Amino acid sequence: MSTARLIALDQILFVLVAAAWAATAGVALAGLRQPAAAGRRTRLIAAALCAAAIVVTALRIPVTLGLARAGWWFVAEKVTLALPLVVLPALASAAVSLPRLLRAPSGGGAPVLSPRLVAFPLLVTAYGAVAGVACGVVISYPVTGGGAAAVLALFAAASVVSWRLLGPVRTPGDRWQAAGTGVLALAVALTVGGGWSGGHPHFGDHAPAQGISVDLLHGASAAAAGGPSRAKPRVRRFTLTAQPATVRLASGPIDAWSFNGQVPGPVLRVRQGDLVEVTLRNRLPGQSVTVHWHGYDVPSGEDGVPGVTQNAVAPGQTHVYRFRAEDAGTYWYHSHQNSSVAVPRGLFGLLVVDPAAPLPESEDHVLALHTFGTRPTLSVDGAAPVEGLARLALPPGARTRLRVVNTDTRPVVLGLGGAPYRIAAVDGGDVPGATDLDGDRLHLAAGGRYDLTFTVPSGPVLLTAGDRPALLVNGPATPPAAAGPIVDITRYGAATAPPARFDQEVTWVLDKTLAMADGLPRLAQTVNGKAWPNIPTPVVRQGQTVRIRVVNRGTDTHPMHPHGHHVRILSRNGVPATGLAMDTFDVAPGEVWEVALVADNPGMWMSHCHDLAHAAQGMEFHLAYEGVTTPYEMGGGNHPA
Ligand code: C2O
Ligand code: CU
């Protein structure tokens, strides 16, 4: 069974186990209060429930073992806390309570069994099972003392209170005392537990306190670029005006936010080596904006993250971005202010950098997949998005490149039917040794890009996105949609040698857990058990090679996107990868990815999940370079997610 299935099964079992023990304890208590004769039936029902509870509890053991095979990250809190809390009292229940429930005499009038002997083990098992559910919500990886202490305190308090209440003499004073114990334990648990995920606002544990400001890490101006040894670059100037726009889809109009009145914004197409200068003007009422160059490893000061590399650009203001187009390939840009709202609403566009030496393809088109609400669309070469089937006419025999950009927050399965094709580039970078695919489908992460190349056949070609025909080349006949297996992108292309050594190891365990956010515990998308802004900042030194291990313990897919760097994929679930460079990699539930990041772009960077709703729910943090600081602050007007 896959790790993802085991995670789901484990969550179901958790709840089943808690329900089974709660029911057992409840029915047993009822049976004990009844006279021996009348209570016999109830007690037998309790015994049956107890047997069933023992069985579902036992089932958790093989499931946990299966998860442990995928890694300790998946089971740490289960093995150390959640399982012992239910398994040990379950054994006591099986040894003490169950035989008494079964053997209790059916004659006589008065209750015959000691509640402390029969009901107490059952209650404690139920508390342990519920504590196990709480562990799943409160504790991620690594297991924190605070979270564990909070769960244990509540478990212990419930057990103590029950012991007292089950005792022979019960005066009102006893009850008050018991209630007091409960309240006290709750207070202790909250105080202790409060520290489990808070305490490090803004930059986490290790942010540099002094050094050079990110504000000094800018792209050279036109006058300064070039220098003695380099020819003066060609300067390409663009203006992006953020403004409201109406997008007219077949199914009805959409109130969008746009760059230059169009969604997607203009395709910025430049040549490798150009100096790109983009003036951002904000004409959006009541909404600040920035421009982030997704996947383009610009100097940190040009990265467009409010609160990290600049202040958000308020309505009426302007901001100029400058960077040298060093890398060729397919990229995109989007606002990073309130990005979980702004990008879905249309504040994005495409960036294509043509290589200095021309490509072999005579046909070269950019395709932006974007979903407005629930309406999936495709824009071809920056034209208005098409909700149904977009069309393209290409000369048969022409070598063609389709640059597919997923601007959504969810992954998409692509299919190209009607012609053999290759994935020539992934996230902007060429794929060495790209092999022919025929009818195979592709999984494209949120924010990711694939360049697909093929020779136009005499018949039509169909691109599907999800279940939907998206682009028809040379209709009118429609070829069958690609239905082949999904390519494992981590194994595609020719293998390149991994780095020989690593200077630092970082692990990001992704989960959905209760964590402190804005001073309150909330269910958040977490990294190592914490949510923004409490996730400690990894700090690297320029020139280091860092191995990053990303573990997804949760049930959501997380397209991880470190800014300013491409990472090389080293392995997925322990299987070595070919080493493709990606800037957005999709870590599915239960998966473990290892990637290598070469610290070659000093700055203060954002790293986050590109399911932008997840970023807004906490899954964002920084990657800092030793000696780089930022004068900008989060909060106030700056809200990157
Ligand atoms: Cu396209 Cu910080 O993201
Ligand atoms: Cu996510």
Of the listed ranges 19-33, 139-153, 193-207, 580-594, the one predicted with least confidence: 193-207
Which residues lie below 8 Å from residue 594, measured CB to CB, with a gap of 6+? 547, 548, 549, 550, 569, 570, 571, 572
Rounded to an integer, what is the distance from CA 145 to the centroid of its chain? 25
Q: Which of 489, 481, 485, 418 is nearest to 455 (CA)?
A: 418
* Average pLDDT of the residues in 368-397: 97
Nearest ligand (C-alpha, residue 295): 1
So what's the pLDDT on residue 111? Answer: 58
Q: How far is CA 545 from CA 295, 509, 564, 596, 627, in A?
A: 19, 20, 14, 7, 17
Q: How far is CA 284 from CA 1, 245, 520, in A?
A: 50, 10, 32
Atom of ligand 1 lying closest to residue 640 CA: 2
Other C-beta atoms closer than 10 Å to the C-beta of 247 total 22
**Cα 415 to ligand 1 centroid, rounded to whole Å:** 25
Q: Whose CA is nearest to atom 1 of ligand 1?
A: 294
Is the pLDDT score of 641 beyond 50?
yes
So what's the pLDDT on residue 516? Answer: 82
**Cα 126 to ligand 2 centroid, rounded to whole Å:** 33
Atom of ligand 1 lying closest to residue 608 CA: 2
**Cα 448 to ligand 2 centroid, rounded to whole Å:** 14
- The H or E element containing residue 38 is helix 36-70
Helices (H) and strands (E) in the chain, counts: 10, 33
User: 547 falls in which pLDDT band (50, 70, 90)?
Assistant: very high
Atom of ligand 1 lying closest to residue 615 CA: 2
Q: Outline where 166-232 has alpha helix (H).
A: 172-194
3-state secondary structure of 609: strand
User: 198 falls in which pLDDT band (50, 70, 90)?
Assistant: very low
Beta strand 363-372 with 375-380 is antiparallel
Q: One-letter amino acid identity for 218?
A: H
Atom of ligand 1 lying closest to residue 620 CA: 2
- CB of 608 closer than 6 A to ligand 1? yes
Q: Whose CA is nearest to atom 3 of ligand 1?
A: 294
**Cα 518 to ligand 2 centroid, rounded to whole Å:** 19
So what's the pLDDT on residue 232? Answer: 83
Provide the token pair at 17. 């186990």
Is the pLDDT score of 203 beyond 50?
no
Dihedral angle computed from the Cα positions of residues 561, 566, 568 and 571, in that order, rounded to the nearest 10 degrees: 0
**Cα 603 to ligand 2 centroid, rounded to whole Å:** 24
User: 200 falls in which pLDDT band (50, 70, 90)?
Assistant: very low
The CA distance from 104 to 33, in Å, is 13
Nearest ligand (C-alpha, residue 619): 2
So what's the pLDDT on residue 168? Answer: 75
- CB of 449 closer than 6 A to ligand 1? no
Nearest ligand (C-alpha, residue 560): 2
The CA distance from 466 to 314, in Å, is 37
* Average pLDDT of the residues in 448-461: 98
- CB of 606 closer than 6 A to ligand 1? yes
- CB of 100 closer than 6 A to ligand 1? no
- 571 close to 596: Cβ distance less than 8 angstroms: no
Q: Which of 164, 78, 199 is nearest to 515 (CA)?
A: 199
Nearest ligand (C-alpha, residue 561): 1
The CA distance from 98 to 91, in Å, is 10
User: 379 falls in which pLDDT band (50, 70, 90)?
Assistant: very high
The CA distance from 608 to 432, in Å, is 28
Burial environment of residue 635 by CB neighbours within 10 A (0 to 12, 13 to 18, 19 or more): exposed
User: 205 falls in which pLDDT band (50, 70, 90)?
Assistant: very low
User: 189 falls in which pLDDT band (50, 70, 90)?
Assistant: low
So what's the pLDDT on residue 64? Answer: 96
* Average pLDDT of the residues in 545-572: 98
The CA distance from 453 to 262, in Å, is 27
Over the stretch 148-180, which tens digit does the pLDDT of each residue have? Answer: 998 999 999 999 999 988 887 666 776 777 777
- 147 close to 137: Cβ distance less than 8 angstroms: no
Atom of ligand 1 lying closest to residue 305 CA: 2
Question: Which percentage of the chain shows pLDDT scores above 90?
Answer: 82
Is the pLDDT score of 442 beyond 80?
yes
Q: Which of 434, 560, 447 is nearest to 487 (CA)?
A: 434
Other C-beta atoms closer than 10 Å to the C-beta of 514 total 22
Q: Which of 385, 479, 380, 478 is nearest to 438 (CA)?
A: 479
**Cα 435 to ligand 1 centroid, rounded to whole Å:** 30
Provide the token pair at 365. 């088109």
So what's the pLDDT on residue 38? Answer: 77
**Cα 622 to ligand 2 centroid, rounded to whole Å:** 15
Over the stretch 248-271, which tens digit does the pLDDT of each residue have? Answer: 999 999 999 999 999 999 999 999
- First-to-final CA distance of the chain: 35
Q: What is the CA radius of gyration of the chain?
A: 30
Query: What is the DSSP-derived secondary structure letter of residue 302?
Result: G
Is the pLDDT score of 587 beyond 50?
yes
Q: Which of 59, 532, 632 is nearest to 307 (CA)?
A: 632
Over the stretch 289-304, which tens digit does the pLDDT of each residue have? Answer: 999 999 999 999 999 9
What are the φ/ψ torsions at residue 244 (nearest 5 degrees)? Answer: -70, 155
User: For all residues of the chain together, what is the average pLDDT?
Assistant: 92
**Cα 45 to ligand 2 centroid, rounded to whole Å:** 45
* Average pLDDT of the residues in 31-59: 90
- CB of 447 closer than 6 A to ligand 1? yes
Question: Which percentage of the chain shows pLDDT scores above 70?
Answer: 93
Burial environment of residue 431 by CB neighbours within 10 A (0 to 12, 13 to 18, 19 or more): buried
Spell out which residues have Cβ within 5 A of ligand 2, the ion. 558, 609, 611, 614
Nearest ligand (C-alpha, residue 623): 1
Over the stretch 485-506, which tens digit does the pLDDT of each residue have? Answer: 999 999 999 999 999 999 999 9
Nearest ligand (C-alpha, residue 525): 2
Task: Tell me the DSSP string of 517-534.
Answer: ETTEEEEEEEETTB-TTS
- 507 close to 551: Cβ distance less than 8 angstroms: yes
Over the stretch 604-625, which tens digit does the pLDDT of each residue have? Answer: 999 999 999 999 999 999 999 9
The CA distance from 621 to 605, in Å, is 8
**Cα 87 to ligand 2 centroid, rounded to whole Å:** 33
| Cis? peptide before 385, omega within 30° of 0 | no
- CB of 281 closer than 6 A to ligand 1? no
Other C-beta atoms closer than 10 Å to the C-beta of 380 total 18
Burial environment of residue 2 by CB neighbours within 10 A (0 to 12, 13 to 18, 19 or more): middle
